[in-house]
A and B are shown apart, each in its own frame.
Chain A
Amino acid sequence: MNDFFLQAFLVIDAILVAPFRWFANAQAGFVCGMAVLAIACALLGRACAAGVARVHRTKRERQDAEIRRHQDLSFSALAAKDRETYLAANHLAQEAYGNSMALAAGRAAALIWPALLVLAWAGWRFADAPLPLVGESAGPAVFFLPLYIAALWGLARVTRALRPAGDARAGSDPTHFPPAPK
């Protein structure tokens, strides 16, 4: 079993280190490798989170609908100056929100696991190695994190741009602002 894990690790290591060797210049290679890994982590994370979100959809929609229903009701109660009903509906909305947040934790884990594993690998791979600009005073996380955040941000922009207008509106707010009371 240990041999299997060792072999698997060596294969993963060979894949992860490949982009660092695309340039003959070590510093350029390091920056390129970090950028490629950051983009790959963002892509893989988004794909996994989308997969989990897809499976969660029915349950999430049910919970979001419940939150929305209680929120709408609480707003209507507010409009009618009925504080007691407002507090009751608000309490029910809060309970539904708690369940929704626990569900979201799974999607968040799906988003960030590749980045954490790459961070761990980079920490091991470049341990005690002087890095560009910072020497030995900092770890690879200082390069990886900003690139990863930029990749996530860029990916979100691209996804939003590619998404049909109707979907974008619906997906922007899981608990839509209810209409003003009439």
Chain B
Amino acid sequence: MKNWKWTLPVGLLAIVAIALWFEPAFADKLSDAIAKAPVGAEPGQIPADPNAVKGFLGIPGSPVVNPILAFCWAVWVGWIFSTVGAFGGVMSGVGHMSVFGFGSYAGSFKKTAPELGKVITDSIKASNQFLVGLSAAISSFNYLKMKRLVLPLAITLGLGSLIGAWLAQELSAGKLDFKSYQGYFGLFVLLLGCWLFYETTPAGQSKKQTAKKAAQAFEAAAKKIKCGESVDASCDGLHITQFTLSKCAFTFYGVPFQFNPLIPFLGGIVISAVAAFLGVGGGFLLVPFLTSVTQLPMYLAAGTSALAVLVSMVTSIITLLSKGTPIEWHFIGLEMLGIAVGSFVGPMTSKYFSDVWLKRLFIVLSAYVGIGYLLAGFFNFKLPGI
């Protein structure tokens, strides 16, 4: 394991390459689903005309997205990433489902050709995950390279992530209709909006203020103490003192910590399963989980969660490809370019916007999108623009 920082990513990429090797063999799933769909001019049917325009996934009669629109929407997503934060991932999902019309197209096959509808839903989900998760995984890789991780914890978390991501894709790929996916995605966005709102309330702010005050008080006290106090060198850094199936104990700067390895394992399963099922990253949930449950220092939590994010992403990609999920690579590439441009423009323009108002705007947006998707998905009630 001496060169694990190279062998691990190379090994994971080798697995992806093997999955890609077999990709053409899986490509028939979409063709089979199209062949089973009824022919006609109504919604939920495939046009009889062999020269009908082929849009999304090359399906005759599917929505043809103007590349300029796709690019502009991706610029918006990138702008959000660079100014507001992780909410960009939600907006990328909104683009695929509502703005480009893939969602209503997939939903139109619910009764006429459910198999085709589910393949399209899987593709939408995979596109969301590629757009958000791939970037997150690449970003996490930098932290992984720094070797700042607690290996036993990373292994248990990574194993849980692998199982969670695999289970979610295995159980949902080809079985999830668009309406259900939309409903669950809406629920997730609504919960995210509620959390953002909570953070702006006095209760949410007080926790942050208490943390800030405690930190400031300590900082002030530390300045008053004269330097020169020596610390036992053996207390520096991380030392794992015990690792069993039920207990992982370590000291960091001489302070003892311990946790049950089953907790990160189960946490990894749940978080990765939710991320893979919804087609979102997962890192934004893993780090708070690690710092709150295991009380791991941020210095180590970032690297430790990075491994889990990478494992989860690779598992998701392989499982999706092995299930024959078609992916529009050129579309993802174009959107990535848009995100890069938006991310470039973001810091230049963010000075013209108030952080507080941006946060409020996204709370309102997440509430509207969340409730809208929830109603449309589970109750078949459509809000304007959803």
Give the B-binding residues of A (Cβ under 8 A): 5, 48-49, 51-52, 55-56, 58-59, 67, 70-71, 73-95, 97-99, 101-121, 123-124, 134, 136-139, 141-142, 145-146, 149, 173-175, 177-178, 180-182
Contact = CB atoms under 8 A, between A and B. Distances in A.
Contacts of B139: 101, 104-105, 107-108
A46 B10 CA distance: 20
Contacts of A109: 78, 135, 336-337, 339-340, 343
Contacts of B136: 101, 105, 108
Contacts of B236: 180
Nearest to B298: A93
B81 A88 contact: no
A112 B347 contact: no
Contacts of A52: 340, 343-344
Interface residues of B, number: 79
A141 B298 contact: no
9 contacts: A5-B67, A76-B222, A94-B298, A98-B86, A108-B136, A110-B336, A113-B339, A117-B337, A120-B333
A106 B298 contact: no
Contact of B298 (A90, A142, A174): A90
B198 interface: no
B275 interface: no
Contact of A98 (B16, B85, B214): B85
Contacts of B302: 97, 175
Interface stretch (B153-161, B252-260, B372-380): B252-260
For chain A, what secondary structure do more than half of its interface residues adopt (helix, strand, loop), or is it mixed? helix
Interface in B286-303: 287-288, 291, 295, 297-299, 301-302
A182 B336 contact: no
A138 B337 contact: no
Contacts of A77: 218
Nearest to B284: A98
Contacts of A174: 142
Given A80-B222, A105-B135, A178-B299, 4 more contacts: A77-B218, A89-B218, A93-B299, A145-B16
Contacts of B230: 182
B215 interface: yes
A73 B253 CA distance: 12
Interface stretch (B17-25, B116-124, B172-180, B360-368): B17-25
A109 B342 CA distance: 10
Contacts of A58: 347
A117 B334 contact: yes
Contacts of B235: 79
Interface string B201-224: 000000010111011011100100
Nearest to A85: B218
Contact of A74 (B21, B297, B348, B350): B297
Given A108-B135, A142-B20, A145-B17, A70 B215 contact: yes
Contacts of A107: 139, 343
A132 to B, nearest CB: 14
A71 to B, nearest CB: 5
A102 B88 contact: yes
Contacts of B301: 94
B340 A106 contact: yes
Nearest to B146: A173
Sorted nearest first, the 10 A-B pairs with minimum C-beta distance are A106-B343, A116-B333, A120-B330, A110-B340, A120-B329, A104-B139, A117-B333, A113-B336, A88-B211, A78-B253
Given A108-B139, A112-B134, A48 B254 contact: no
B218 A94 contact: no
A104 to B, nearest CB: 4
A102 B297 contact: no
A141 B20 contact: yes
Contacts of A119: 329, 333
Of the listed residues B235, B334, B337, the one surrounded by the most CB atoms of chain A closer than 10 A to its CB is: B337
